[in-house]
Structure 1
């Protein structure tokens, strides 16, 4: 019996090294991959017609032509051969229809076409502007695989010199997302923009970032649509709802929470001002903490690490989770959630002193005499109001299942 070929995988294909002379590896069904002495890998289709072996038909080069695409072509060519016809003419048409994605400009146009159709008009406009104004003039004709971190940094530096540091950071992010897509298509192996740390390109002159209502919904929908662990999704959501600092949340302990009374008592030694702080939990926040309690893996910490030791997650964990998300929200950090909550609550006409106490800020003057339960009724009300406001932003255009927290 003839030996059956073991189907190829992308991992195996990547491991195939060139030899002094070219050689072939079969995927089965007439599809073979020829590994050239130069290192390039070419898909070909081997077939017989009227009982005679025919010259092989070239399908395309890997990875521009993916394994799945090559198999689909080979399957179609087999049907043509079964009808007694040579697939050569069809193969030529197929190769002519394949877009050349070798250079930055060619791939950039393809990326825009494939990935930007469902984005907002403003997002498409700013992305195209970054490519056409700065990226293409510098790198448009350069092969995609030859772009280096130095190339990206040079573009960012030129933009900063004309007094536009935020545009420099935006352009770096556009390049980063474009190369992430190229990696997913196996056209390149590394992302040159990832090596350029964002804070080295541009920083906010002052931290005054406030997320719009639309951006709040966009961030949290992206969180819940992502593949990050469920506890981390809830942590980010709770960071929005409770208005606490990141360190105060990730180090939370179960003995600090009174879920029946909906109060979280953060001890003084964990607070920035060394004063005990009470957080009056919304019904949504209580429901999230109860979910975490039902599935807890630590008797002490609400957000324990998964590394096998009983301690909270690292301070960088939530930052890394946010950075990994695919969303159209620029230039924000987790700490901006506190300012965002304060700004929108003030715009709703809520009492400033209660908002400041909810943020654990010190109020100057006689009104600032410390009382951990001061403005309790107002704080309970505004945190519930804030949770419902956030829910409304998530619901706007929602396409992912999040969970109806704290609702009947």
Structure 2
């Protein structure tokens, strides 16, 4: 049985727009009644608020409908009529409104953005922006407005299948991982009680592992190095191209390199954790060849922040497409080599041709290598051996470039010590 309003049988629609506009403020708030619970409160400061008075569970309650004229007289009456029906059907409109407000702040998009804000303290700004953009493109259109505690595994799978149907299978898997992290955050924060992503293992098609195109044959790598030496573009881009295979860091780490990170005396480049994918400071020993390139470039960009500044503004680094575009102009298409491919070239040749220990190589690639006890190695692990490796790698590249006959180092001995 439903509840009742306080003014169940009173005359309604007693107010008019003219009467409301003429209502002047007084020293104290006063009420103008429209009937059946709807009243307009006129405050001393001139604001006029709609209030609906009703009884529920033996208690008199009120509900705000907003201010006049933002909420017109006819709109206020419509709200009153809808709300009276709720009361008659045993629904407390005040409680219902509170639940709606909670659900509005518990949408998947709201919770996801809260999770990103929390995670940003350990992410780079670019990565945080990348995550948000991916969610905006792939997940928010389907699930963003839904209360996170109402989302089922089937609804999440449907959103992921849309991504998969575009041929973006790897993206679908990445979004499943992201959604799983968001749901775990939501559970810890009290927004929901279960993680539907956990039930979707194996529900998506397999990812075909793709590797960055890279040159791993020594004679072909020599051709690329000679082409770089003959590059006719800007001097800054040419220097970036020349040093990229020597240090084989990730493209973003190279183009954002700063002069303050270079220690010429120690022949060391220290990349701060904030720029690294693994969020750990990384040390790059600089060979004589790398130092020579930096010293050659210093008179041109050394007064600024970035080693490889953007040609339009020195306050920004080279664009992420600069090295890739330069490789294309030299005739190396995307099926042959990318800026990221220098890492694969170094990894393969250092191991299979030069015979260096895989853990030295993995450390220098800034991969997540762990010690026998399962702990992450510190930044200086095997630094002496890595310094030797980086110099021999640079000498080997010089030999390739100038056409000298090169031989692999033995699997034991200097390369393995």
Q: Normalising by the residue count of structure 1, what TM-score does the alignment of the two structures yield?
A: 0.45
Higher Rg of the two aligned structures: 2
TM-score by length of 2: 0.44
